[in-house]
Amino acid sequence: MNFRNKYILGVTLALSVFAIFACSTETEVEVIKEVEVIKEVMVDAPSTLATVLERDLLKCGVNDNLTGFGVVNSDGEFAGFDIDFCKAVAAAILGDSSKVEYVPLTASARFEALAAEEIDLLIRNTTWTSSRDRDLGNDFTVTTFYDGQGIMVKASSGYDSVESMTGATVCVLQGTTTELNLDDRFTGAGIPYTPLTFETNDPLQAAYEEGRCDGWTTDKSGLASKRAGFENPDDHVVLAETLSKEPLGPLTRDNDSEFYDVVQWVVFGMMQAEESGISSTNVADMAASPADPGMARLLGVGFDGGEPSDFSFGIPVDFMQKVISQVGNYGEVYDKHLTPLGLTRDGSLNALWTEGGLIYSPPFR
């Protein structure tokens, strides 16, 4: 039972007892004592941060079949943009980016796995929406990648827009916002189509390659990833239209503020490190001689003889040094995994705010 359920159950029981025995002063005293005990249990309930520290291992829900974001490479190791953010959180909390257990999850199983506490954190190309934020008992942290949904077709198909795809069959993952957006776009425009749904990418890709569907829709980053893996990438075209806004980022469970704060500020720290010119190659030098108080606060060191700032995250004050030295700043992670797919940052929302994008960190103060 998670923290939120314990809270609701505890308060409900306490109020029920109070309603039944409110006429008795002696019983009122007992009820007050019960409420105090419930509050004490609530306060003492372990957070995910405490669990990870005690376990000495972070359980991260990921994709294992999306090149660039999350995939098992030829060495049998997980690699990708999302994978590196799992590593960054482990480095911040445990001091070692390798202390991660990666849990591959399908799109339809990911939220249940997080709610059931089978994982500590979900970083699996997941779109932030109002209904997911409200209904699923999860909290989205800062967006790590601003994406948009597209449709890929064979270059020989003759399709050059959504309007030209009348009567087409489109492959799509079930249980995703992608499936909903697809229907919104086609049905809203009165364009007849047939959705062909799959739970995982492998059979979906096979159906597309075999010609069982005329188009494949998912986030444009995912399409770029899959297109790059084809023997002849030029035989496939991603249509120009963007069907939706798809802000992707990590999720934690609701009412788990200690852990949420750590995840959130690790990501912010990687963004700020890039903006400040701090990378995996120079972080040690920057920490030894920070250029300004802001850099000192980010790296958890004193400035001009002062004491290091402690933001009370429950982890060492120099956690960002470990993150940057072991994983890199935001730009390093992006360039390593996404730039090779053709997902360049120039002119995109994923550029730093100083370069016209949306990648921006609040102050470390």
Spell out the domain ranges in the chain: 3-45, 51-145+248-355, 149-244
**Extended strands (E) in 67-192:** 70-72, 78-79, 100-104, 121-122, 138-140, 145-147, 149-154, 168-173
pLDDT, one tens digit for every residue, the chain (365 residues): 554 444 444 444 444 444 434 444 444 444 344 444 434 444 455 799 999 999 999 999 999 988 899 999 999 999 999 999 999 999 999 999 999 999 999 988 999 999 999 999 999 989 999 989 888 889 999 999 999 999 999 999 999 999 999 999 999 999 888 999 999 999 999 999 999 999 988 999 999 999 999 999 998 988 988 898 899 999 999 988 989 999 999 999 999 999 999 999 999 999 999 999 999 999 999 999 999 999 999 999 999 989 999 999 999 999 999 999 999 999 999 999 999 888 889 888 999 999 999 999 999 99
pLDDT at 306: 92
Among 207, 194, 204, 197, smallest CA distance to 168 is for 194
Crossing angle between the packed helical segments 257-276 and 81-94, to the nearest 10 degrees: 110
CB 163 within 8 A of CB 205: no
Q: Which residue is listed with tokens 């019983």?
A: 27
Measured distance CA(334)–CA(339) in Å, rounded? 7
Q: Does domain 149-244 have CATH number 3.40.50.1820?
A: no
pLDDT at 9: 45
Using CB atoms within 10 Å of the CB of residue 1, give its burial: 0 to 12 exposed, 13 to 18 middle, 19+ buried.
exposed
CB 204 within 8 A of CB 173: yes
pLDDT at 45: 56
Measured distance CA(145)–CA(359) in Å, rounded? 9
User: Do 51-145+248-355 and 149-244 fold alike per CATH?
Assistant: yes
The CATH class for the domain spanning 51-145+248-355 reads: alpha beta
Among 274, 217, 246, smallest CA distance to 349 is for 246
